[in-house]
Amino acid sequence: MSSRSIGLASLIRHLGAWRAPGAGAAYRQLAGTLRLLILDGRLPLSVRLPGERDLAQALGVSRTTASAAYGLLRSDGFLTGGQGAAPQTSLPTGPVVRQAAVGTEGQTPDMIDLTAAVLPADASVHAAYVRALERLPARLPGHGYEPAGVEELREAVAAAYRRRGLATSPGQILITHGAHNGLVHLLRLTVRPGDPVVFDHPTYPQAIDAILAAGARAIPVALPDAEDEGWDVDSLASACRRSAATMAYLVPDHNNPTGRMMRAADRARLLAALRGCETLLVLDETMVELTLSGPPALTASVVDGPRIVRLGSLSKSVWGGLRIGWIRADRVVIQRLAQSRAAFDLGVPILEQLAAVELLNDGGAALAARRPVLRARRDYLWARLAEQLPDWSCPCPAGGLSLWARLPAPVSSALTVRAMAEGLRLAAGPRFGVGGGFERNLRLPYTLPEIDLDEAVNRLARAARAVGRPARSVPDGRRVVAY
């Protein structure tokens, strides 16, 4: 039996506003929210849940309701342990996983997935692989192991930094399996169990998972409510100094999920506040080239310092299936990373690296062609939300891949569960934070074609009505509040 368990207070906080009037039987709503918490990782696997009696008392429902919810989850494979035994979180096996992942009730064959903010590949990706295959034979006589990455790719990445005004040599670059893999390697090298790691809040959910998996002590610093306030630089610096944080992880360029961008002045002020501090400042720049309106994020990102490490990737700007990322850091850090990674992976496949060289050396043509498409989809989704859900507040970001909507009530998880029955998969707001926060928020990517976004908003509006916040029609010209 697992020694891990989740306390009753913590589980109640995660459940949030799980019950919505008129959205079905209470036990089904409770089971649906618990299923969501397991699927999106807020409830880890093999963790004991509170007993039926305690859960029922804490929620103010009958024990029959709690028992029926647990029973439904057991039958679907999301809990183990028979009636009367301590329930443990689990996942179904085989084909049941695929069915359960989109909800077992009311699922439709034309499910629209808004859980991933990623772009599909375009013709430039295929062309890059074709050219890479033509160049591959020259590499075949070698052993194929490149712990730091192919020199040609490291130079292409370094050249991209130099074009931004950041003097960079190939020796400062380590090629990784995406930016997330780079963060994992940094955590393994620099963070020990119990070490404090500061991060902006909300943030990229897989980064939170990696920080917690490393055994670090998570220290979130909230982003200000108002979009135009950017980051709370004073609180970030204070958290790093007060906790003696080993690392601070920030997404300052079109932050995922909020879309906001840290101003150059705030970056400079943060560096000045951290002078003399041992905190390693890790900047996730996977969205830095996805500016859709206003001044490019590249102009702000040239603020640099000796204890800054930058993560980059082609997964967001090109294609999620191209698992190519990199770390830019001091040469000594790169050498240590190249040595330590051998215990976990032996490098990135050569063909993918050669394709990445082709994409990075295209002069920015492929990305320039995609920005107008993304801009049109952003504006379309923003306008449709204003028409169908006018009581939602939704800043229009200058770039990135998603909107960060604020709901009129803390019902993000309940709405996500109900949307599954409408044929819409969503990532609930709390997935982007710790401690059960962001129940008033929802991330909505605009990477799908307009026809899919249109139908997604229709389904979202129906789900919103089902959880008790009816959508209203409004006069032409009215728009969602933009900061």
CATH of domain 113-120+366-466: 3.90.1150.10
Asked if pLDDT for residue 3 goes beyond 60, the answer is no
Q: What is the mean pLDDT of residues 106-114?
A: 75
Asked if pLDDT for residue 84 goes beyond 70, the answer is no
Q: What is the pLDDT of residue 107?
A: 47
Q: What is the pLDDT of residue 109?
A: 59
pTM: 0.85
Q: Residue 377: phi, psi to the nearest 5?
A: -70, -40
Worst-scoring range by mean pLDDT, 215-219, 256-260, 345-349? 345-349
Asked if pLDDT for residue 478 goes beyond 70, the answer is no
Pick 281 or 471 by higher pLDDT.
Answer: 281
**Predicted confidence band of residue 432 (pLDDT cuts 50, 70, 90):** very high
Amino acid residing at 24: G
Q: Which residue is listed with tokens 């206003």?
A: 294
Q: Which residue is listed with tokens 């998570």?
A: 218
Q: Model confidence over 25-68: pLDDT tens digits?
A: 889 989 989 998 888 878 888 889 999 999 999 999 999 999 99
Spatial neighbors of 15 by CB under 8 A, at least 6 apart, are: 30, 33, 34, 37, 59, 413
Q: CA 177, CA 204: separation in Å to the nearest integer?
A: 17
Q: Model confidence over 174-197: pLDDT tens digits?
A: 999 999 999 999 999 999 999 999
**Predicted confidence band of residue 469 (pLDDT cuts 50, 70, 90):** very low
**Predicted confidence band of residue 108 (pLDDT cuts 50, 70, 90):** low
Asked if pLDDT for residue 296 goes beyond 90, the answer is no
User: Residue 343: exposed, middle, or buried by beta-carbon count in 10 A (0-12, 13-18, 19+)?
Assistant: exposed
Count, residues in the chain? 483
CB 26 within 8 A of CB 420: no
Is the bond leading into 21 cis (omega within 30 degrees of zero)? Answer: no
Asked if pLDDT for residue 476 goes beyond 60, the answer is no
Q: What is the pLDDT of residue 250?
A: 98
Q: Kind of pairing, strands 325-328 and 308-313?
A: antiparallel
What does the mean pLDDT of the chain come to? 89
Q: Where are the domains of the chain?
A: 8-102, 113-120+366-466, 123-364
What's the CATH class of domain 123-364? alpha beta
CB 344 within 8 A of CB 188: yes
442: nearest Cα among 426, 420, 418? 426
Q: Domain 8-102, what architecture?
A: Orthogonal Bundle (1.10)
Q: CA 177, CA 325: separation in Å to the nearest integer?
A: 6
Q: What is the mean pLDDT of residues 199-208?
A: 96
Chain centre to alpha carbon of residue 253: 14
Tell me the CA distances in angstroms from 432 to 115, 311, 398, 446, one per residue in order: 12, 19, 20, 17
The number of beta carbons lying within 10 Å of the beta carbon of residue 331 is 11
Q: CA 438, CA 89: separation in Å to the nearest integer?
A: 23
DSSP H or E run through 466: helix 450-466
Q: What is the pLDDT of residue 257?
A: 96
Asked if pLDDT for residue 104 goes beyond 70, the answer is no
Q: What is the pLDDT of residue 96?
A: 40
CB 182 within 8 A of CB 327: yes
Q: Model confidence over 437-461: pLDDT tens digits?
A: 899 999 999 999 999 999 999 999 9
Percent above pLDDT 70 for the chain: 92
Asked if pLDDT for residue 1 goes beyond 60, the answer is no
CB 455 within 8 A of CB 112: yes
Asked if pLDDT for residue 407 goes beyond 80, the answer is yes
∠ CA(382), CA(385), CA(390), 5° rounding? Answer: 120
DSSP-derived secondary structure letter, 165: T
User: Residue ranges of the alpha helices (H) in 321-449?
Assistant: 331-340, 350-360, 365-388, 412-421
Q: CA 146, CA 132: separation in Å to the nearest integer?
A: 17
Residue 87 region, left (φ>0) first, then alpha (ψ -120 to 50), else beta? beta
Worst-scoring range by mean pLDDT, 105-109, 152-156, 355-359, 415-419? 105-109
CB 132 within 8 A of CB 327: no
CB 413 within 8 A of CB 441: no
Q: What is the pLDDT of residue 480?
A: 39
Asked if pLDDT for residue 100 goes beyond 80, the answer is no
118: nearest Cα among 257, 259, 320, 322? 320
Q: Model confidence over 347-387: pLDDT tens digits?
A: 899 999 999 999 999 988 999 999 999 999 999 999 999 99
DSSP, residue by residue, 9-77 = HHHHHHH-S---TTSS-HHHHHHHHHHHHHHTTSS-TT-BPPPHHHHHHHHTS-HHHHHHHHHHHHHHT
